[in-house]
Amino acid sequence: MFATSETLLILVILPPFISFALNGLIPDLRKNKKTSSGISILAIVISALSSIALVVINPDTDIVFEWIPLTSFSPIIFGFFIDPIVLIMFLIVSLVSLAVQVYSLDYLREESPLSFGRYYTFQSLFAFSMLGFVASLSLLQIYIFWELVGLCSYLLIGFWYTRPEASRAAVKAFWVTRFGDVGFAIGMVLLWGATGTFFLPELFIKAPEISNPFLTLSLFLIVLGAMGKSAQFPLHVWLPDAMEGPTPVSALIHAATMVVAGIYLILRLFPLFELTLDPLVFVMWIGTITALLGACLAIVQNDIKRILAYSTVSQLGYMMAALGAGGAGVAYFHLFTHAFFKSLLFLAAGSLIHSLHTSDIWSMGKLAKKTPQVTALFLIGSLALSGVFPFSGHFSKDEILMWMHVRGFTLHFIILLITAFITSFYMFRAFFVVFFGKGESTSGQEVQEVKTPWVMTLPMWILAVITIFAGFQAGNFFNFLGLRLEEVHTHLEYLPLIVSILGIALAWTFYQGRYLSSKNVAISLSPINTALEKKFWMDDVYLWAYRYVLDGLSIVCGWFDRYLVDGLVNFTAYYTKRASQKLRTIQTGHAQDYLYGIIIAILLLFFLSILSPYLSPFLNEKENSVEFSEQIIQKGLQDDDD
């Protein structure tokens, strides 16, 4: 039993890595569409099946090994372990990866075999890194996998690297998340400095001994890393731009898995966060602000992927807020449901973009009749995201809101409630415009046919089924985590649902019924509208900071380097040169003169050895050198005689 669960753990993590290694190292496999995708999908299927098997068994096991084992010093311990939290993440990552990889078969059909193979190689690397990240037992190992998923994100955002926007977005994502990662790295090292270990179980045991301000500081820094990765205000700016990557990548990495890494990190380190509450309060505020901000920004977007990206930012804010309020379980449940319905939404949007070659919602329109299947799928996703009753999003969002309400965070509760209203409004704005709109901007062109082969629809339907039924499993979910689902009955119980439906109704009034004109409202609220369209000038602030602050710093550093550092070097070099100019005259070039040098050295040694008995008080030397060498000879001869 014990052995099988360890084997299964290896079977979850290792196959994607093997697939990555095979595709990465053997060009012949990578250059063939069938082999590259086949290997990758086979690997993720093994991972998914093993994950499901592990969830069924629900074992408690780990694989631990020491890196650089030492006796005197606590070694760096690496290892993978399983607990219910890890298992659920395994399930999310492997299932969504599988769905996305199958979906990509058709989505990337037009790519050349080489870039197709590259895509699947990166996908395998990502799956491995994410699975490894989730099951990591040591903070250092978490950091390594954390950077690996960041690397995959960078590589996949910039998948169409010949497009300047894509490569710029990739670099932006890399820089912004790296900014947070610096905090994470420093925080991690601070924790190590205080406890002398990266190993999580040991860290949790030793953590109460750390002085409170120090622990708070380290955790703040770690939260900074989580904010970068999970696109929290003010480090959220990279996520909308990351939509330049292929849509399946957005579904997998920038909706379901990688962006929740920050949430997961805080969740993992929750025993530490419980020791000092300041970082959690900070997390709660950040999460609440991000939720509202993301939702507001989503209203004015015209690009379907960007709408979804801002909605991801907003939903991640929900999770952060719940985490900050101490609701690790409810945050995790929302993470779980969100992973499925958001990747479903992305894949549905992707199938439209794939067929129509545009992502502008105004140039879509009238798609409901052409593709009822995608319409149904998108509707399921939108309803789930808006939090309408039978769908999973309703349950998880409800849990978060109720948690806030019951714990007495009324201000946050109200903000999140408003956010829920805006969420359903912008989602159905997109839904009505895309599927029932007129298709105004298409300059006379009739909207093209939407092709939906089964490799695309099957993964979406699987995700849709999970979206529909996952919500009812909330009780089982919390049992599995070893938590109890709190049954809350207050007079506010139905408020979130009512708010959501109101949001849908408002969207209908604006965009379907057209009783109100969105343009008139936009004009009457023009300052807000401008602010939203400019994304609250966040990008401009960053650009300014990048351009002036960083450049200014560079100029100062450059001056320092050029005049002080180089000056010192040149000064040393100049005097070395002058000294050697003088010393070179000693070199006569005559072989015999060098021999005189040797003789002078012998003479000096001779005087030293004669004088050493008298010099010994000054030289602080106990042994008379002549006697000492005699002793050595004596000893050598004794050895010789033996």
Partner 1 sequence: MHWDNIIFFLLATGLVSTSVAAVSSKRILRSAIFLAIALLFTAFVYLLLGAELLAGIQILLYAGGVITLIIFALLISEKLGDQKLVETHHGVIPALTASLLVLFILLYFTWSSPRIESLSNSRSLSEYGVSRTLSEVLFSTWVLPLEILSVLLLAAIIGALVLARQEKTKGEEREQ
Partner 2 sequence: MSLYHILFLSFLVFSIGLFGVLSRRHVVGILIGIELMFNAANLAIVGIAWSMGVLTGQIIALFGIAITAAEVAVGLALFLLVERLTNTVYADKIDTMRG
**Which one, of 244, 230, 399, 390, lies nearest residue 315 by Cα?**
230
Query: 388, 394 in Cβ contact below 8 A?
Result: yes
Q: Which amino acid is at 432?
A: F
Query: 41, 142 in Cβ contact below 8 A?
Result: no
Q: How far is the CB of 623 from partner 1 (least distance, A)?
A: 16
Q: Which does 634 bind (CB under 5 to 8 A by kind): partner 1, partner 2, none?
A: partner 1
Q: How far is the CB of 580 from partner 2 (least distance, A)?
A: 9
Residue nearer to partner 1 on the CB measure, 557 or 632: 632
Q: How is residue 530 written in tokens?
A: 């401008």
**Dihedral pair phi/psi, residue 360, rounded to 5°:** -80, 125
Phi-psi region for residue 196, left (φ > 0), alpha (ψ -120 to 50) or beta?
Answer: left
Residue nearer to partner 2 on the CB measure, 569 or 602: 602
Residue nearer to partner 1 on the CB measure, 548 or 606: 606
Burial 557-566 (b: 16+ CB within 10 A, else e): eeeeeeeeee
Residue nearer to partner 1 on the CB measure, 580 or 592: 592
Q: Which does 626 bind (CB under 5 to 8 A by kind): partner 2, partner 1, none?
A: partner 1
Strands 62-67 and 76-81, sheet pairing:
antiparallel
Q: How is residue 607 written in tokens?
A: 């005087």
Q: How is residue 464 written in tokens?
A: 């849709």
Name every residue whose Cβ is closer than 8 Å to that of residue 585 and which is 6 or more positions away in sequence: none
Residue nearer to partner 2 on the CB measure, 577 or 584: 584
Q: How far is CA 112 from CA 30, 38, 153, 162, in A?
A: 11, 16, 21, 14
Q: Which does 619 bind (CB under 5 to 8 A by kind): partner 1, partner 2, none?
A: none
Residue nearer to partner 2 on the CB measure, 520 or 580: 580
Interatomic CA distance for residues 283 and 331, integer angstroms: 12
**Which one, of 187, 87, 117, 202, lies nearest residue 146 by Cα?**
187
Which residues of this protein are in contact with partner 2, per CB under 8 A?
Answer: 583-592, 595-596, 640
Q: How far is the CB of 599 from partner 1 (least distance, A)?
A: 5
Q: Which does 630 bind (CB under 5 to 8 A by kind): partner 2, partner 1, none?
A: partner 1
Q: How far is the CB of 637 from partner 1 (least distance, A)?
A: 9
Query: What is the rounded radius of gyration, in angstroms, for the C-alpha atoms of the chain?
Result: 32
Q: How far is the CB of 196 from partner 2 (least distance, A)?
A: 55
Q: Which does 410 bind (CB under 5 to 8 A by kind): partner 2, partner 1, none?
A: none
Which residues of this protein are in contact with partner 1, per CB under 8 A?
Answer: 592, 596, 599, 602-603, 606, 626, 630, 633-634
Q: How far is the CB of 599 from partner 2 (least distance, A)?
A: 8
Q: How far is the CB of 588 from partner 2 (least distance, A)?
A: 6
Q: Is the dihedral of CA 63, 45, 353, 439 positive or negative?
A: negative
Interatomic CA distance for residues 110 and 453, integer angstroms: 14
Q: Which does 602 bind (CB under 5 to 8 A by kind): partner 2, partner 1, none?
A: partner 1
Q: How far is the CB of 627 from partner 2 (least distance, A)?
A: 20
Q: Is the dihedral of CA 169, 173, 178, 180 positive or negative?
A: positive
Q: How far is the CB of 31 from partner 2 (least distance, A)?
A: 57
Q: Which does 357 bind (CB under 5 to 8 A by kind): partner 1, partner 2, none?
A: none
Interatomic CA distance for residues 420 and 494, integer angstroms: 13
Residue nearer to partner 2 on the CB measure, 588 or 609: 588
**Residues facing residue 66 across a β-bridge:** 77
Interatomic CA distance for residues 139 and 188, integer angstroms: 7
Q: How far is the CB of 617 from partner 2 (least distance, A)?
A: 33
Q: How far is the CB of 622 from partner 1 (least distance, A)?
A: 20
Residue nearer to partner 2 on the CB measure, 543 or 595: 595
Q: Which does 588 bind (CB under 5 to 8 A by kind): partner 2, partner 1, none?
A: partner 2
Report the 3 state secondary structure along 27-55. HHHHCCHHHHHHHHHHHHHHHHHHHHHHH
Q: How far is the CB of 604 from partner 1 (least distance, A)?
A: 11
Q: Which does 585 bind (CB under 5 to 8 A by kind): partner 1, partner 2, none?
A: partner 2
Q: How far is the CB of 585 from partner 2 (least distance, A)?
A: 6
Query: 22, 39 in Cβ contact below 8 A?
Result: yes
Residue nearer to partner 2 on the CB measure, 475 or 636: 636
**Which one, of 258, 140, 229, lies nearest residue 188 by Cα?**
140
Residue 104's H or E segment, with its range, is helix 84-107
**Which one, of 491, 464, 321, 289, lies nearest residue 403 by Cα?**
321
3-class DSSP state of 199: strand
Residue nearer to partner 2 on the CB measure, 491 or 584: 584
Q: How far is the CB of 640 from partner 2 (least distance, A)?
A: 8
Q: Which does 628 bind (CB under 5 to 8 A by kind): partner 1, partner 2, none?
A: none
Q: Which does 589 bind (CB under 5 to 8 A by kind): partner 2, partner 1, none?
A: partner 2
Q: Which does 584 bind (CB under 5 to 8 A by kind): partner 1, partner 2, none?
A: partner 2
Q: Which does 638 bind (CB under 5 to 8 A by kind): partner 2, partner 1, none?
A: none
Report the 3 state secondary structure along 214-251. HHHHHHHHHHHHHHHHCCCCCCCCHHHHHHHCCHHHHH
Residue nearer to partner 2 on the CB measure, 112 or 629: 629
**Helix, strand, coil % in the chain, rounded to nearest 5:** 80, 5, 20
Q: Which amino acid is at 580?
A: S
Residue nearer to partner 1 on the CB measure, 373 or 625: 625
Residue nearer to partner 2 on the CB measure, 534 or 635: 635
Residue nearer to partner 2 on the CB measure, 389 or 606: 606
Interatomic CA distance for residues 293 and 419, integer angstroms: 9
Q: Which does 587 bind (CB under 5 to 8 A by kind): partner 1, partner 2, none?
A: partner 2
